[in-house]
A = this chain, B = another copy of it.
Amino acid sequence: MATVYLRIAMSLDGYVAGPNQSVNDPIGVGGMRLHEWVFPLRVWREMHGMEGGEDDASSQVLQEASERVGATVMGRHMFGGPSGPWDLDAPWNGWWGENPPYHHPVFVLTHHARAPLVMEGGTTFTFVTDGIESALEQAKRAAGDKAVWIAGGADIARQYLRAGLVDEMELNLVPTLLGDGERLFDGVGDDLHGLRLVRTVAAPNVTHLKLARG
């Protein structure tokens, strides 16, 4: 059965997005600081069709994360576009252009039905309107032996955490404060459903904490 894997970047004060999120700024004020460690990496640049880049202790974490994933689940805000029903005359097809960096099936949780979207390079977006368990079932079937990545945003991550459906969690902990925004663990309670720290990787500007069951 496919492992359900939550990987998300979080500040020292627990935020995964900054304040004043909007359609045009889905990670909020200062939220980009959570991701600065990733942009110089060769492996990240390759995923996004760019040359060059650096290697550091984060490279292997990211490479491993990328290779293990067979399907992704994300929320509507992470997929983006105007809120409300889809405007199919001027469709929003995600932030990533014609060839998104997923290259596998992506399941987008939304309240508004829409036909699947087939992109270049193996990425398909399937829109799921009947809840997190249905999205996960579909993603598991699509992932086969590989893992399902719960990609975010915060609200989606929290729903899966609360339901105890996360088998592994990788926190990319960034040594910065956002001071406001969306906290990963707000309302999650005090139960990690058996997740324990199994690996810590120290890297420039980020610490990778991996938690798993057992």
- Distance (whole angstroms) from the CB of A136 to the closest CB of chain B: 21
User: How far is it, in angstroms, between the C-alpha of A196 and the C-alpha of B37 when the chains are bound?
Assistant: 13
A200 touches B197 (CB 8 A): no
B13 touches A13 (CB 8 A): no
Known contacts A200-B207, A202-B202, A188 near B14 by CB under 8 Å: no
Does A122 belong to the interface (CB within 8 Å)?
A: no
Chain B residues contacting A202 (CB-CB under 8 Å) are: 199-200, 202
User: How far is it, in angstroms, between the C-alpha of A191 and the C-alpha of B180 when the chains are bound?
Assistant: 12
User: How far is it, in angstroms, between the C-alpha of A135 and the C-alpha of B195 when the chains are bound?
Assistant: 41
A191 touches B177 (CB 8 A): yes
A143-168: CB near B (< 8 Å → 1, else 0) gives 00000000000000000000000000
Select A185's contact among B30, B177, B188, B195, beta carbons within 8 Å. B177
**Interface hits, A160-198 → B, CB 8 Å:** 171, 173, 175-180, 183-185, 188-192, 195-197
